[in-house]
Structure 1
Amino acid sequence: MKSRGRVQMLRCALDGVEATVAHTTHAFARHSHDCFGIGVVIAGGQRSASGRGPVEARATDVITVNPGEVHDGSPLDERGRAWRMLYFAPSLVTATLAECAHSALREVELTRPVLNDPKLSMCLTRVFSVAVHAIDEDVTPDNLACEEALLGLFAHVGRHYATSAPPGPVPNVSVARARSRIDDDPASASTLAELAAEAGMSRFQLLRSFAHEVGLPPHAYRMQRRVALARHLIARGMPLVDAAVSAGFADQSHMTRAFVRLLGVTPASYAAAVR
Structure 2
Amino acid sequence: MPLFASEWFARNGIECSRVTASDSAFPRHLHDEYVVCANLSGREAIWLDGKSYEAQAGQVTVYNPTSVQASQFSVEPVSFISVHLPQSVLAGTPALREGAFHHSPLFAAICDYADATRQHDEGLQEQQLMWLCGELLDDSASRHQGDAQLMVQVKEYLRANLSSKPQLATLAQQVGLSKYHLVRRFTQLTGMPPLQYHMQLRLHHARELLRRGVHAQDAALQLGFYDQSHFINAFRKVMGTTPHHYAHQLRINSR
With the length of structure 1 as denominator, give the TM-score of the two structures. 0.48
Partner of 1:87: 84
Distance of aligned partners of 1:52 and 1:130 in 2 relative to their CA distance in 1, 3 Å threshold: farther
* CA offset digits 1:148-192 (Å, max 9, x no partner): 11111111211169xxxxxxxxxxxxxxxxxxxxxxxxxxxxxxx
Structure 2 Cα separation of the partners of residues 109 and 20 of structure 1: 23
Is 1:122 matched with 2:113?
A: no
Is 1:157 matched with 2:143?
A: no
Identity %: 17
* CA offset digits 1:3-32 (Å, max 9, x no partner): 52522451233x121112111122010000
Partner of 1:58: 56
Partner of 1:167: none
**Larger RCO of the pair (alpha carbons < 8 Å, separation 6+):** 1
Q: Which residues of structure 1 form unaligned runs of 5+?
A: 95-105, 135-140, 162-275
State the secondary structure of the residue aligned to 1:151.
helix
The 5 A counterparts of 1:1-275 are 3-8=1-6, 10-13=8-11, 15-25=12-22, 26-51=24-49, 53-75=51-73, 77-94=74-91, 106-131=92-117, 133-134=118-119, 141-159=120-138
Alignment check: 8 A CA contact 1:27 1:73 kept: yes
Distance of aligned partners of 1:52 and 1:125 in 2 relative to their CA distance in 1, 3 Å threshold: farther
Distance of aligned partners of 1:119 and 1:73 in 2 relative to their CA distance in 1, 3 Å threshold: same
Aligned partner letter, 1:157: L
Structure 1: which 4+ aligned runs deviate by more than 4 Å?
none
Structure whose CA Rg is larger:
2
* CA offset digits 1:72-130 (Å, max 9, x no partner): 0011x312311000001001122xxxxxxxxxxx2521113111111111111111111
Aligned partner letter, 2:14: V
Q: Which residues of structure 2 form unaligned runs of 5+?
A: 141-255
The alignment of Structure 1 onto Structure 2 pairs a total of residues equal to 139
Deviation at 1:53, TM superposition (A): 1.5
State the secondary structure of the residue aligned to 2:39.
strand
Instruction: Give the superposed CA RMSD.
Output: 1.9
